[in-house]
């Protein structure tokens, strides 16, 4: 079985994997946060955009110019095809959020659905925030969410032993959570089938490791940066997050001077 970098073999299956996620509602939430905390956001950068579903939904509001980026070329290929089919103006670019290399300045940056959890130390998160400040206009926003220990402990029950398929591909997921190390592991075994679906032609494996953070841990990391904490929201609401929140969304304001 071949081991692959994350979100390579999984890319053609990703939308099938995420079919229960309401991307339009998620885009509505991002729009609400942008409009609430920024006077006139226009140029938006998305990090770790996956197959582009949120960016494509956010574009439908009609007042955003969006550049959506992801480390995986395979994911960007899927996103670009979806954009072409929808006659979308969203621009897609292959880029790691650990190596931000754009020359534009943005009114806001966002990254969602546990992307920050792929960074396994406060040092890495601080570097990301510093790099983002270089491409943010003064007073602009950085919005991100992260998965908490509560979310991982709940999610293991329904993610473990999940299986699904799409066309000539199918996957089986094993999901575990190490409470001491706060590491959530999702291991995908992906099978490529023959045209009639009767035989397995090839098998691939992807292992996804996410470091899970408590609210206090993440706030402590943010305090080490030059950002101002505008708000911390729990579970897709505008209520303040606490240690019982399964997912926390932070809204930060870039404090750099002109």
Report helix, strand or coil for 132.
helix
Same fold, 14-147+214-253 and 150-211: no
| CA-based nearest residue to 190, from 212, 211, 209, 167 | 167
**Res. 19 pLDDT band, cuts 50 70 90:** confident
Model confidence at 210: pLDDT above 90: yes
| CA-based nearest residue to 9, from 71, 78, 93, 74 | 74
| CA-based nearest residue to 211, from 133, 123, 129, 141 | 123
Q: What pLDDT does residue 150 have?
A: 94
Q: What is the mean pLDDT of the chain?
A: 91
pLDDT in tens, 26-75: 999 999 999 999 989 999 999 999 999 999 999 999 999 999 999 999 99
Q: What pLDDT does residue 221 have?
A: 98
Q: What pLDDT does residue 167 have?
A: 67
The CATH code for residues 14-147+214-253 is 3.40.50.150
Domain ranges of the chain: 14-147+214-253, 150-211
User: H helices of the chain, where?
Assistant: 14-17, 23-37, 53-59, 73-85, 122-133, 149-159, 215-222
Pick the CATH number of 150-211 from 1.10.10, 2.60.40, 2.20.25, 3.30.70: 2.20.25
pLDDT in tens, 80-94: 999 999 999 999 999
Predicted model pTM: 0.90
Q: What pLDDT does residue 3 have?
A: 64
């Amino acid at each position: 079985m071949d081991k692959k970098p994350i979100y390579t073999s999984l890319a053609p299956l990703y939308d099938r994997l995420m079919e229960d996620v309401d991307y339009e509602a998620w885009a509505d939430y991002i729009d609400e946060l942008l409009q609430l905390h920024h006077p006139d956001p226009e140029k938006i950068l998305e990090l770790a955009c996956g197959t582009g579903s949120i960016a494509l939904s956010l574009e439908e509001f009609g007042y955003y110019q969006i550049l959506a980026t992801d480390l995986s070329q395979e994911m960007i290929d899927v996103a670009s095809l979806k954009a072409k089919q929808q006659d979308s103006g969203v621009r897609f670019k292959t880029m790691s959020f650990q190596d931000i290399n754009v020359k534009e300045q943005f009114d806001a940056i966002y990254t969602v659905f546990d992307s920050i959890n792929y960074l396994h130390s406060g040092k890495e998160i601080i570097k990301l925030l510093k790099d983002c400040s270089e491409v943010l206009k003064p007073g602009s926003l950085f919005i991100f969410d992260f998965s908490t220990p509560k979310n991982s402990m709940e999610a293991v029950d329904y993610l473990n032993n999940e299986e699904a398929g799409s066309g000539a591909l199918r996957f089986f997921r094993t999901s575990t959570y190490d409470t001491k190390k706060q590491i959530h592991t999702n291991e995908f075994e992906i099978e490529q089938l023959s045209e009639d679906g009767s035989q397995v032609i090839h098998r691939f494996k992807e292992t996804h490791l996410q470091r899970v953070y408590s609210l206090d841990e993440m706030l402590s990391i943010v305090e080490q940066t030059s950002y101002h904490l505008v708000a911390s929201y729990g579970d897709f609401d505008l209520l303040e997050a606490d240690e019982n929140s399964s997912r926390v969304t932070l809204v930060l304001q870039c404090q750099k001077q002109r």
